[in-house]
C-alpha cells in the first residue's frame, strides 16, 4: 500500500509519469554505456549505493543494496562503504569510481573536484569515467525524485545472496 505524500508533497513520478518514464529510459541508456565501457554491475551498484547514502535516500538504498546483494556483492563491503577510504576491500577502479561519486554528489570546491577527477583518471579510461559520471548524475536524479516524493520503504524478506565470491582488491 502506498501512503500519500505528506506535508503538501507530490509524488512527481506519478504526477508526470511521462517524465518519469523518460528518466527510466535515461537510466537504461546509462546502464548500457557502463556495460560497454567495461564497468561491471558491482561497481555500478556501489556507485548507486554511495550516492544514495550521501543523499539519505532510503528508497534508492533499499533498491540498490538489494540489487548489489543479488548480484553477488558482499554484505561486508556494503556495510563499510561509507568508510571505503579506510579499507583495502575495494579495487583501484572501484575506489576511482567512488571518488567521482562523492565529488559529483557533494560538489566540493572546483579545485578539489579537479583533484578527484585526476585521481580517477589514474584508474579509469575516459569512457569509464564518463559512464561513472552518468551513473552518478542518474542516481542523484532518482534520489531527488524519491526524496521529494517521500517514496516509502516497505519491509521485505531478506535477500538471499548467491554463494560468496572471492574479492581480490
What digits encode the pLDDT tens for the residues 65-119? 999 999 999 999 999 999 999 999 999 999 999 999 999 999 999 999 999 999 9
Residues composing the chain: 169
CA–CA gap between residue 39 and residue 132 (Å, rounded):
9
CA–CA gap between residue 28 and residue 34 (Å, rounded):
10
pLDDT of residue 168: 37
Q: How far is CA 62 from CA 56, 118, 154, 158, in A?
A: 11, 32, 9, 11
Q: Are 44 and 34 in contact (CB under 8 A)?
A: yes
Write the DSSP assignment of 38-103 as a string of letters: T--HHHHHHHHHHHHHHHT-HHHHHHHHHHHHHTT--HHHHHHGGGGGG-S-S-HHHHHHHHHHHH
HSE-up (13 A, CA, CB side) for residue 77: 25
pLDDT of residue 161: 53
Domain ranges of the chain: 17-149
pLDDT of residue 157: 79
pLDDT of residue 102: 98
- 7: number of Cβ within 10 Å: 5
CA–CA gap between residue 82 and residue 32 (Å, rounded):
27
* Residue bearing cell 505524500: 5
pLDDT of residue 156: 87
Candidates 1.20.1290.10, 3.30.420.40, 3.40.50.1240, 3.40.390.10; CATH matching 17-149: 1.20.1290.10
In this model, does residue 13 exceed pLDDT 60? yes
pLDDT digits (tens, 9 = 90+) for 126-165: 999 999 999 999 999 999 999 999 999 999 877 665 544 4
Q: pLDDT-based confidence at 166, cuts 50/70/90? A: very low
In this model, does residue 22 exceed pLDDT 50? yes
pLDDT of residue 7: 76
Q: Are 38 and 128 in contact (CB under 8 A)?
A: yes
Amino acid at each position: 500500500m502506498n501512503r500519500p505524500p505528506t506535508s503538501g508533497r507530490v509524488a512527481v513520478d506519478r504526477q508526470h509519469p511521462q517524465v518519469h518514464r523518460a528518466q527510466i529510459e535515461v537510466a537504461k541508456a546509462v546502464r548500457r554505456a557502463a556495460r560497454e565501457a567495461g564497468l561491471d554491475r558491482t561497481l555500478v551498484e556501489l556507485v548507486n549505493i554511495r550516492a544514495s547514502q550521501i543523499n539519505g535516500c532510503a528508497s534508492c538504498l533499499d533498491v540498490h543494496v538489494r540489487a548489489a546483494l543479488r548480484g553477488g556483492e558482499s554484505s561486508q563491503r556494503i556495510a563499510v562503504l561509507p568508510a571505503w577510504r579506510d579499507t583495502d576491500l575495494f579495487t583501484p577502479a572501484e575506489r576511482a569510481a567512488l571518488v567521482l561519486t562523492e565529488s559529483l554528489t557533494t560538489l566540493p570546491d572546483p579545485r578539489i573536484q579537479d583533484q578527484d577527477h585526476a585521481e580517477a583518471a589514474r584508474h579509469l579510461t575516459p569512457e569509464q569515467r564518463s559512464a561513472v559520471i552518468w551513473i552518478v548524475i542518474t542516481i542523484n536524479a532518482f534520489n531527488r525524485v524519491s526524496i521529494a516524493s517521500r517514496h516509502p520503504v516497505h519491509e521485505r524478506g531478506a535477500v538471499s545472496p548467491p554463494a560468496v565470491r572471492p574479492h581480490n582488491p
